[in-house]
Structure 1
Amino acid sequence: MRAYNFNAGPAAIPLPVLERAQKELVNFQNTGMSVMELSHRSKDYEEVHNRANTLLRELLGIPDTYEVLFLQGGASLQFSMIPMNFLQENKTAHFIMSGSWSEKALKEAKVFGETRILASSKEDKYAHIPGDYSLEELEDGAYLHITSNNTIYGTQWNEYPTSPIPLIADMSSDILCKEIDVEKFSLIYAGAQKNLGPSGVTVVIVKKDFLETARSNVPTILKYSTHAESNSLYNTPPTFAIYMLSLVLEWVKEQGGVKNIQKINEEKAGYIYSAIDESEGFYKAHATEDSRSLMNITFTLPNEELTKKFLQEAKDRQFIGLAGHRSVGGCRASTYNAVPKEACAALAKFMTEFKNQNQ
């Protein structure tokens, strides 16, 4: 029996994807080699690489006016690469702060130039997406940065700002979970280890005309243009991670695409939020109702003793990864695309049973 995997990342990968990768592991497409052994300059690998690019464009509706890049270093490297490339002198990078990852992105931007916090929900323990800000204050801004989903606090943007300056989003933990209008953004980036596959590859979707505004005095390997001009093959890419990404994207397409995935995700999250809301206060959601995440559901129990008991009994029943982040405590269920509906229904049932037995 496979565990009910609610880990926050690296996270669940669809079982059919794992089974196909297992089948092809030692002999990919009758090459007599694993994908991990193929030259990244070979035709066999090139087909995998380009297939991942094509599928991502199809699933997200990415126009030809954007580049799709496969990079390394995770979202953490993007925190530095973005200001290194796009934070020009005499310009300001604006941030809407909604959690720890926003804080890390801001910290790295400060190394390269002027920054400004446009809005923040830190005083409310990041329990909601900030809404008290004016976009009219963004004149001469280099870009506006947001984090679309906050794994630690369980909050998510429901509607993105229409920014008068380039809008950049860290979508590491909710890309492909719901439909988005890519053209609202100048750059989207996402580490793969939540909804796209295993860790090792980072997807960057960047508008071509925004790319043209990048600074020139940047090390070659850290220039987005370097990777755009070489189809992300300037240096050896994380070939196996990109292969796994292509399989995950095929799986998403087989599920009916992002539109149907969103419907499933809403059902999945609904099971667990209902268990919280109907618990008469036994479980309390960290996020306010208008900012609740489809991907990370955070909640607390009445006390630490009950929390420990809940987590132990959950583990005994093969519910894995439910402990909340150390900075928030409590519990967290990460319900990424690959987490099956039945796992969420089973967790909700367990939550109700536990509440009835321990009230």
Structure 2
Amino acid sequence: MKKRSFIPVVLMLVVCLLIMTSCADQTGENGGSSTTAEPVEIVLIDKDGNEKTVDLTKFESVTGEASFKKSTGAIVGPATLTGPKLVDVLGEIGGIKEGEAIAIVANDGYEMTLTYDQVMGQIMTYDEEGLALQVGGVEAIVAIESSDEGVLESPPRICFIGEGKPITDGHFWVKDIATIKIAESVKEWELSLSGIEEAKCDRSTFESAATCPDTTHPSQEWETTNKDGEKVVYKGVPLWVMVSMVDGYDTEDGHYRFNRDLSQKGYTVQVISADGYTVEFNSKDVAYNDGIFLAYLANDEPLDEDSGPLQLVGPNLPDKKHSVKQVKEIKLVNLPE
């Protein structure tokens, strides 16, 4: 009887083991991303100012589908998004408590503040037509992977996933996150605008306009002194930018654009306080005038209750009487036919 050689069998087993080991290095146990993926780091800052750098790939991830709505109304998505829950990430610095908020800052300087409720998913959702549905029913994650790079764009990114591919406001979807800091809570507010169209601008939308780097109308900053001689630096959005939301000159893709022709024909811009106090400007004086703006910060802090949430300020105001506090509404009246 001839003896069988076991050498080829042993060699085959070794080769198979090498192949299996190689495959295991390339995928997770569920076929996901590599276990040796590049770290995705952000800096967390607790309420006492202590910093901690964390690698988001080290957290347990969840996956869900979602879309976001641009300020113009365009819907981006849906896409499948994966990343750790925002609350789990915040747990590394003691978590967020009721009465607190988080300030998220991107590497390009864009900033967005989320209240405790918003962190917990209490934000407005929309249908496919962009119409409001309900508040809540979503979960905030810090996405690091996506089935559509056009949606994730520059990870890590705040996203809101849930059942039924929820659609939420895009200004909450902060991308390319650099830091997340525990901050004092902020009050929600709303500015009413009317003219050829009507619009509402809430706190987060205004904050987005004031810090967005990809814009033709950058935020304004003005240093002055108060009645006690103390330095005050105001930050905000030009009045003409807010006027552009309701002056009937949106582009086909929905972007707001200031209606220069209408402003030159002439109309009146009214800025109205919560108590009804009103000042008026000629549209020609408002057009592209960055020296008249709505401030929401003074020395990098939200305006106090006596002045905020918005105050009309700037070096080009006609006089101090035009520095309206507690701005609640902007109207375009005496519009040309």
TM-score range, shorter chain: under 0.3
- What TM-score do the two structures reach when normalised by structure 1? 0.23
Of the two, which has the highest radius of gyration?
Answer: 2
Q: Does 1 or 2 have the higher relative contact order (CA < 8 Å, sep 6+)?
A: 1
Structure having the larger proportion of residues in helix:
1
